[in-house]
A = this chain, B = another copy of it.
Amino acid sequence: MTTVRDIVHHLEFLMPWSNGECETVDQLVFGGLEDLVHGVAVTFIASYEVLQEAVQQGANLIISHEGLFYQHMGGLDALNQDPVCSEKLEYIVKNNLAVYRLHDRPHRTRPDWIVQGMAKRLGWRDMMGDGYRTFFDAPIVQLPPVSLGQLINQIKKSFCLSQVRVVGHSALNCRRVGLLPGYRGGGAAAIPYLRQADLDVIIVGEGPEWETAEYVRDAVAMGHAKAMVVIGHQQSEEAGMEMIADSLRDLVAPIPVRFIPLYPVFRVL
């Protein structure tokens, strides 16, 4: 007899970030803490299709990194009376689903589980240096020298990507690599990281296109040996959520815990 509360306790055990007074988006968005859990589905974002797949697999607790209703903060109010939101909401209610948003806890635990997932997917977990101190966990991965072109091939293979977006020369020699999953590619965080941690290249989920990318464009034009690879928000964070699913599975057996991957949100045409 495992309840949602039990699963939340397991998550807190795995990722022992002490919330304190800190604001967080993490919470049980639907369902009750005393609901009995028959199966758990872990995912990057609880899209409509992910919810359907979870139901089909018999899961009634969905653990989702990003929110259900297309915004980081806040509830359903802003999208009130939207037919897509209403239909999603109805589906959740009709199927008695519990949905838990798990965003800040994995990011704020040290080391950051999402960063670790990204490093694991790249086979780099043994190459993480001490890191660079910022408000988030910013690792410095120390590689045997490799060209940017080779690195890009490795990234595409590791994340099963048909393509990545790149600023920098393919011949660039890369030794020190930074990892910025999710929306951490913005200039305020990524530019000082790239420079102060003496990185050759940063691999980011996403970020405003004319901040860090334009910085790297200018750096390259001036002859500085810098580069940036953008792999997509979803692609950069899924591996971390899969790692959470794997760890949770051992703790809650025999309750099944499944990781549900998503197709890339964009088709490239």
Which residues in A have some Cβ–Cβ distance to B below 8 Å?
45, 47-49, 66, 70-72, 78-79, 82-84, 87-88, 152, 163-167, 170, 183, 187-188, 191-192, 195, 205-206, 208-215, 217-219, 221-222, 224, 230, 232-234, 265-269
Interchain nearest-CB distance for A99 vs B (Å)? 14
Interface of chain A, helix or strand or loop or mixed? Answer: mixed
| Set of chain B residues within 8 Å of A152, measured between Cβ atoms | 269
Cβ of A218 and Cβ of B267 under 8 Å apart?
Answer: no
Q: A209 vs B70: C-alpha distance in the bound complex, in angstroms?
A: 10
| Cross-chain contact of A218 among B47, B71, B210, B222 (Cβ < 8 A) | B47
Chain B residues in 8 Å Cβ range of A82: 191-192, 195
- Please tell me how many copies of the chain the complex holds: 2
Q: Is B268 within 8 A of A210, CB to CB? A: no
Closest CB in chain B relative to A189 CB, distance in Å: 11
Residues of chain B contacted by A214 (CB below 8 angstroms): 45, 47, 66, 70, 265
Q: Are B269 and A84 in contact (CB under 8 A)?
A: no
Q: Which residue of B lies closest to A229 (CB)?
A: B269
CA A170 to CA B170, docked complex, whole Å: 33
Cross-chain contact A78 with B234 (CB below 8 angstroms):
no
Residue contacts A-B, CB under 8 angstroms, 22 given: A45-B210, A47-B214, A48-B218, A49-B218, A49-B221, A70-B211, A78-B188, A79-B191, A84-B215, A163-B269, A164-B268, A165-B268, A165-B269, A166-B266, A166-B268, A167-B267, A209-B233, A209-B234, A210-B233, A210-B234, A213-B266, A217-B265
| Min distance, Cβ A229 to any Cβ of chain B, angstroms | 9
Q: Nearest chain-B residue to A155 (Cβ)?
A: B269
Residue of B nearest to A208 (CB): B183
Given contacts A66-B210, A70-B212, A187-B70, contact A221 B48 (CB under 8 A): yes
Within the assembled complex, what's the spacing in Å between the Cα atoms of A202 and B82?
A: 17
| Partner pick for A167 among B163, B165, B265, CB 8 A cutoff | B265
